[in-house]
Amino acid sequence: METESRDGHLIPDKARVLSGSLLKLIAVVSMLIDHVGAVIVIRYPRVPLISLGSHTLTLYALMRFLGRMAFPLYAFLITEGFVHTGDRRKYALRLLLFALLSEVPFDLAFNGTWFAIKNQNVFFTLFLGFLGLCALDRFSGSGWKQLLSLLGLFLAALFLKCDYGVSGYGFILLMYALRKERILRAVIGAGYLSSRWKAGLAFLPIALYSGKRGFVRGRVWQYVFYVFYPGHLLLLYWISRQLFG
């Protein structure tokens, strides 16, 4: 039976082989699969993939299932970015910039219009979550200031109707609060979001996280992952228009 490592992680150090860069790559692939399902394959939601007796697994259901890993991974990576970044202000501004740049592609892909007020893209969720972490650190000596800051950001998430809603904002705070309690983080995190255990699959690669940065170094690689979000949404919108008019 595996013994617990020194930092409270049940996975031995030599088995933790995934860098932060690989976690980002897994998150991107998961998100892409999910969005292809949500934008294109949703037109054919009953296309069967595997049938066992009276139960049928459709391609659409499988793609949305695999896509549930993306947000928990991004939430975890935001907490890692918060801890390790050398400039939190620039980090927050970068999240806000891409939240604004991604809104039109998000609305086109998921709502078929240039602007929709019913929900906003996930960069807003990540941005507000990051601000929440900054507030916890900035006002660490004042509980009421922390509470007021977190409440204000909660109301902002509610008002903006960010992707994953206030639950997504709270999930980022939860990932940070339980960062030293990895088993408890996985158990609570898997049951926190509406997708429940499906999202819990994200904690498998998180458990294999080595704590190392990986190949994403420098501004070029850094921005590739940021630009991919609005870029792939525009591409999916274009493909859907070509296929379905």
Supply 3's token pair.
């013994």
What pLDDT tens digit does each residue of the chain (245 aa) get? 333 444 445 666 667 789 999 999 999 999 999 999 999 999 988 888 887 777 888 999 999 999 989 999 999 999 999 999 989 999 999 999 999 999 999 999 998 888 877 889 999 999 999 999 999 999 998 999 999 999 999 999 999 998 888 999 999 999 999 988 888 888 888 877 665 567 778 889 999 998 888 777 767 777 888 999 999 999 999 999 999 87
Give me the sign of the Cα torsion angle 23, 223, 179, 96: negative
Work out the number of other CB atoms within 10 angstroms of the CB of residue 161.
14
Report helix angle 88-111 to 122-138, nearest 10.
160
Work out the number of other CB atoms within 10 angstroms of the CB of residue 46.
9
- SS3 helix, strand, coil % of the chain, rounded to 5? 70, 5, 25
Which one-letter amino acid corresponds to residue 32? Answer: L
Q: Is 11 exposed, middle or buried (0-12, 13-18, 19+ CB in 10 A)?
A: middle
Q: What residue has token string 């109707």?
A: 161
Domain boundaries, the chain: 13-228
* 3 state SS of 48: strand
Give the global pTM. 0.90
